[in-house]
Amino acid sequence: MPSIEPAAEPAGGVLTIDCGAVAANYRQLRTQLGQARCGAVVKADAYGLGMGEIAPALAAAGCEDFFVALIEEGVKLRALLAQAKIYVFNGADGGGADALLEHGLIPALNDPGQIAAYARAAGATGTSAPAVLNIDTGMTRLGLGPGDIEALVAAPERLRGIDVGYVMTHLACASEPDHPLNRDQLSAFARARRQLKGVCDAPATLANSAAIFLGPEYHFDLARPGAALYGLVPHPGRPNPMAQVVQLQGRILQVRDVDSPMTVGYGATHRVRSKGRIATVSVGYADGYGHGLSNRGSAYIGDIRVPVVGRVSMDLITLDVSDVPMDRATPGAFVELIGEHLSLDAVADAAGTIGYEVLTRLGHRLHRVYVGGAD
């Protein structure tokens, strides 16, 4: 990510989002996939980073297949990308089926009820409606189970009026390359596709970000990366092949001298042991800097690591800047909270959570700066 000067606006924190890095990550994943198509998951407002900026950058990089969770997200995306194929993971039921057809969205059909509702809506229009058939192979979340597949094979007319573009499944443990469930699910998916032969002979989609790196047998015809696009490591504990996308900086409001027996923050959870200095920074859990980073997180001022001391509060954190030259830790200066020295995954580890949660919680109170976007 290029070095960005903090905004001159009176923001407490600055979140810089590199759309060019997202596009570069997409191109790298597409190369990794060989002949398979590469889509992009932009649900939850592009993992909190702004679908309005991220999706056009991905489209400019060549992406044609986009995935969201909710119909409402698909409608918003359609307004941005008129020609894209937009898939809705949570599928169709009741009036939702009509909205899918109206906006040209492609649902994942997750259960017999959704299949029936979508077939009725398609029948009312007299057209063939596109869809994805979702198979549960071990996630035990959304998708058709073995009994549902048997019922579909016994009554294939249930798919009348539905044009199944892909058969889909989702791995539960793709981020753990050696987990036996990966192989089990791959085998279960193959069995389900054999069962459906003659009823639904569509291409297949399985791989999320992590599964792309499990090897070609997991790639099938279309991959659905999400987290890796935004810079998260596909396989924790291994080197991250993805470019970093976000940088979070917080503004110092105040620096004060401290000494024992003073305490810092709510609950007096940090006790000052000797003379030093505490900087108060205008970012807190309302901005997505999680409470779990209390007394565990870090920041950087230049190349100097400074620890978070005391509890993270709604609007503020406190840092021990005793080892930082006084002229570098001053009111108005910025500290790095996520960036060159602190990856999203490192921050998540310190908070006891996952990088997905850190990303999606980054608040809109932060001043956002987008760089490297589509022209």
Active site residues: 43, 266
- Confidence tier at 142 by pLDDT (50, 70, 90): very high
Over residues 77-89, the mean pLDDT reads 98
- Confidence tier at 310 by pLDDT (50, 70, 90): very high
- Confidence tier at 10 by pLDDT (50, 70, 90): low
Q: Which of 211, 208, 213 is nearest to 239 (CA)?
A: 213
Rg (CA), the chain: 24
- Confidence tier at 127 by pLDDT (50, 70, 90): confident
In whole numbers, what is the pLDDT of the chain averaged over residues? 95
Helix (H, G, I), strand (E, B) or coil at 313: coil
Residue 353: pLDDT over 90: yes
**Beta bridge mates, 281:** 252, 317
- Confidence tier at 149 by pLDDT (50, 70, 90): very high
Over residues 263-275, the mean pLDDT reads 96
CA torsion angle 231 47 366 62 (round to 10): 70
- Confidence tier at 52 by pLDDT (50, 70, 90): very high
Encoded tokens for 154: 């016994």
Q: Distance between CA 317 and CA 281 in Å, rounded?
A: 5
- Confidence tier at 360 by pLDDT (50, 70, 90): very high
User: Where does the chain show beta strands of DSSP type E?
Assistant: 13-18, 37-38, 40-41, 65-68, 85-88, 105-109, 129-134, 162-168, 204-205, 222-223, 246-258, 263-264, 270-271, 276-281, 298-301, 304-307, 317-320, 334-338, 367-371
Note the pLDDT of residue 374: 62
Residue 2: pLDDT over 60: no
Q: For 224-262, write each residue's pLDDT tens digit.
A: 999 999 999 999 999 999 999 999 999 999 999 999 999
- Confidence tier at 40 by pLDDT (50, 70, 90): very high
Over residues 109-131, the mean pLDDT reads 94
- Confidence tier at 16 by pLDDT (50, 70, 90): very high
Over residues 271-286, the mean pLDDT reads 97
Residue 157: pLDDT over 60: yes
Over residues 46-51, the mean pLDDT reads 98
Q: Distance between CA 186 and CA 224 in Å, rounded?
A: 16
Note the pLDDT of residue 11: 74
Note the pLDDT of residue 257: 97
Residue 64: pLDDT over 80: yes
Per DSSP, the chain holds a count of helices (H) and strands (E) of 11, 19
Note the pLDDT of residue 93: 75
Note the pLDDT of residue 9: 58
Note the pLDDT of residue 375: 54
